[in-house]
A = this chain, B = another copy of it.
Amino acid sequence: MPSVNLHLPDDHAPAPHAATDALRRFNRFYTRFAGVLGPGYMGSELSLIEARILYEIATGQPVVSKRIVETLSIDPGYLSRILRRFTQLGWIARTRGADAREHPIRLTTAGEALFSELDRTTAASTSATLAHLSPGEQAGLAERLAWIEARLAGAPLPPPAVRPWRPGDMGLITAQQAVYYRGAYGWGDAMEVLIGEITSRFVRDFHAGREQCWVAERHGELLGSVFLVAESDKVARLRLLYVDAAARGHGLGRDLVGRCIAFAREAGYAELVLWTHTVLASARAIYADYGFTIEKVETHDEFGKPEQSEHWRLAL
């Protein structure tokens, strides 16, 4: 379920603190929503911290105190006492580790039972709060939560996944590129129409094995795309290479062009041609690196203002 992040130039630019304010607001909302302020944890007898400790033990068995202290940033003395209580209650058992200073923790059978009960009830309670959302909204929620977590945790983003096109991709590609070229280069409706016609025609005339479109996405967000279409029996054309601002500088464009070249060779084409514009410097650099050469340069006025365009060619 891909989506595109469109930032229209005519959008009223958000205030510089908009994101900060949004996060602080969300913070207030979420502390209340999650019931952090109140006692108990989702109706269980355990406090939030006890539940979290139990979770760390259950999911990390065997786990040593130190790790819990670190992941939960909790006082070691405090944890020690909680663990002693858990032991007395028969929920956990502590063994002797290879390093005798450590006392790895495991759940006892009773502990396992308690945890799975806790797991069930919290799942049920969470599920209940989600009950009034439609399946589509639930999916949208899950996607957004994952995105936010990844962004806030500052986790390194996974590389975008490249896959062949699917139904629905064409429209998103059209929207993404139309908005981008308009904002970045002032190319108008004609460009949007051109892209729309190319993508529609691609689906209409799609010849599997001889043509392909690759799409790069990450967390359901469209990050780039490229088309390889048959120009004639021996000539293939690379079209609409695009990499989103969020993914530039990591070789995605190079990857996409590489796939086109490999596919074209595989399919038995003798040459690969493309049409691009002089202003699109990073794309041109990729083409040059792969050995494409400029065949012809011409200036046209199709996009609402004069642009110098170039015809490139690569013998396969």
Contact = CB atoms under 8 A, between A and B. Distances in A.
Contacts of A34: 27, 30-31
15 contacts: A1-B5, A20-B123, A21-B123, A22-B145, A27-B34, A29-B149, A30-B34, A132-B154, A141-B148, A141-B151, A141-B152, A168-B192, A170-B175, A170-B196, A171-B172
Contacts of A19: 130, 133, 138-139, 141-142
Name the 8 nearest CB pairs between A and B, nearest first: A171-B175, A171-B174, A196-B200, A19-B138, A22-B142, A168-B179, A26-B145, A144-B144
A166 interface: yes
A12 to B, nearest CB: 11
A185 interface: no
Contact of A24 (B17, B28, B126, B182): B126
Q: What is the count of identical protomers in the complex?
A: 2
A28 B42 CA distance: 13
Contact of A18 (B10, B21, B142, B168): B142
A197 B171 CA distance: 11
B200 A200 contact: yes
A145 B24 CA distance: 10
A126 B193 contact: no
A174 B170 contact: yes
Contacts of A179: 167-168
A8 B245 contact: no
Interface of A: 1-8, 10-11, 14, 17-38, 48-49, 52, 55, 71-74, 122-123, 126-127, 129-130, 132-134, 136-142, 144-149, 151-154, 166-176, 178-179, 182, 189-190, 192-193, 195-197, 199-200, 203-204, 206, 245-246
Best-buried of A20, A72, A73, A132 by chain B (most CB within 10 Å): A20
Given A6-B168, A146-B22, A168-B179, A137 B151 contact: yes
A17 B119 CA distance: 13
A149 B145 CA distance: 11
Contacts of A31: 34, 36, 48, 52
A8 B52 contact: no
A126 B24 CA distance: 7
Given A25-B149, A142-B14, A174-B171, A245 B37 contact: no
A55 to B, nearest CB: 7
Given A31-B34, A196-B196, A197-B200, A22 B171 contact: no
Given A136-B7, A200-B193, A23 B141 contact: yes
Contacts of A152: 29, 33, 129, 141
